[in-house]
Structure 1
Amino acid sequence: MSELIIQFSQWLLTLTQGAEPWDSYARYLPRLMDGVWVTLQLVIVSGIAGFIMAIPLALMRIAKSPWLWVLPYCYIFFFRGTPLLVQIFLVYYGLSQFESLRNLGWIWTDVLSQPYWCAIIAFSLNTSAYIAELFRGAIQAVPKGEVEAAQSLGMSRRKQYQHIILPRAFGIILPAYGNEVILMLKGSALASTITLLDLMGATRGAIARTYMSLEFFLLAGALYLMLTAILIGFFRLLENWYNAHQHATRMPVNKLDAQLRDKHIEDNAR
């Protein structure tokens, strides 16, 4: 893939013939694409990790015992109430203050001291707090009739959450979850503050060499806009597939058994 981008960049250089800013765009395109790939990694890995962390947080959040809900409440309050940039600095610069962490061997040298993993940790902690609150509200918004129907079938509490409540809650939060992923994509630009060469970091590197701040910031904005459009389309398709019952406008009455048809169903199908 990188070789293809390099070849495409060289082909663009032959077309621009030194015309600025297109010539600089073509020369720095491979670095910008590497930055786009790093940005996508941050969003995807952090999004998956944050989603996994959010489920137990949401379940503890709706617990009746204060011993269970007070800790996730404080966790969510902190990460929703402080700036993401502060959280990134706390992970990247703050953890190095503890000697016990610096003595953890490969955990420190390969993970906690690397800007890439520190950014993923900070983004995962931040987005898990927001997603947990989305899940909490969605779980409490699941219609009681569906839960009562599961209880009438003799489902245990674990099976109710596994087969009824959590899948239903996921469908409820999908639009808001898509917005959270998009906000995380735009917030990923802060990763460049800890020397990570994501899209914004690659853009700053190009500006430092060409002094074309306006031109490259406009290009970076266009690339972020393209990534956002892709995410919007993906979540729109996912929402239409997962919540297909909400978009159904016509019932296939003709495919029903003749004994199941009645005047009421046919009238509602029109």
Structure 2
Amino acid sequence: MHPFKMLSEYGPLLLEGAWLTIQLSGLALLIGALLAMPMSVARCSPRAWLSVPVRIYISFFRGTPMLAQLFLVYFGAGQFRHELQAVDLWWLFRDPFYCALLTFVLNTTAYQAELLRGGILGVPRGEVEAARAYGMSAWLRYRLIVMPHAYRIAFPALGNEVILLLKGSAIASVVTLFDLMGQTRAIFAKSFDFSIYLWAALLYLLITMVIVRIWRYLEKRINPHLQRRVIQAPKAVKTAVTATE
């Protein structure tokens, strides 16, 4: 089948799958962002009973493949069906969408928490000490000083996590979800036309390019001082070269 005829015939199915991919990734990133904030604070805590469990959690989900994590949630939950039914949670673990969403949330929370930990450690100690000198409580220091600065530092790396999760979400197709990759596999099983994978790859690329554009715009709004430095750097170099001549 001609590639463009393939696109005209199966394009709506690919778009439907792409929308499911965006839903899965977007929800996971949003929920993960909400959970990562307190976990990053706990990870930086000097209290072992707070930091050690979070460190173990982050190490597990960053050190194991997301496919294995998905299998543990989707197939492993079936081993505890009666217990889950007793606490009225079986409805969640029997649905492949919720299993994939839970896996992605657990995975991205670990990555986002570690990125935020790096951001928190990158906050100048002088700012924290100044806030403490003004008598701010720990809650106020984190809310007004530490976390806003930490997010500015970690923002570019968080953009990479968005893209990585979007691409990694393709594994949802192995638990019978018809996301973009799931629809692609189903179409290939009907048509045996390999060009459908090319169209799927281009659609992933298009979504990624849109995310990159949006993230760069947000980065300029959040860190405008960095943009000014980039713009002024060539002028400074030119001035230095002129002075040496």
TM-score higher than 0.5 here?
A: yes
Pick the aligned partner of 1:62 from 39, 44, 47: 44
CA contact (8 A) 1:174 1:239 kept: yes
Deviations 1:71-109 (A, max 9, x none): 00110111011100000011111011112013344x322
Answer yes or no: is 1:108 the counterpart of 2:90.
yes
Instruction: Pick closer, same or farther for the CA change 1:62–1:249 going to 2, 3 Å.
Output: closer
Structure 2 unmatched ranges of 5 or more:
231-245
> What is the 5 A alignment of 1:149-228?
149-213=130-194, 215-228=195-208
Pick the aligned partner of 1:245 from 202, 218, 225: 225
CA contact (8 A) 2:6 2:196 kept: no
Pick the aligned partner of 1:78 from 60, 70, 74: 60
C-alpha separation in 2, matches of 1:150 and 1:68: 23
C-alpha separation in 2, matches of 1:248 and 1:158: 32
Deviations 1:36-85 (A, max 9, x none): 00000011100011111111111111111211111001101110111000
Match in the other structure for 2:34: 52
Normalising by the residue count of structure 1, what TM-score does the alignment of the two structures yield? 0.82
Answer yes or no: is 1:231 the counterpart of 2:214.
no
> Identity percentage over the alignment?
44
One-letter amino acid of the counterpart of residue 70, structure 1: V
One-letter amino acid of the counterpart of residue 75, structure 2: Y
Normalising by the residue count of structure 2, what TM-score does the alignment of the two structures yield? 0.90
One-letter amino acid of the counterpart of residue 63, structure 1: S
C-alpha separation in 2, matches of 1:72 and 1:183: 22
Structure 1 vs Structure 2 CA RMSD: 1.4
Higher radius of gyration, 1 or 2: 1
One-letter amino acid of the counterpart of residue 156, structure 1: S
CA contact (8 A) 1:96 1:102 kept: no
C-alpha separation in 2, matches of 1:102 and 1:221: 40
Structure 1 unmatched ranges of 5 or more:
1-18, 251-270
Deviations 1:198-227 (A, max 9, x none): 0000001110111012x0111111000001
One-letter amino acid of the counterpart of residue 67, structure 2: L
SS of aligned partner of 1:248: helix
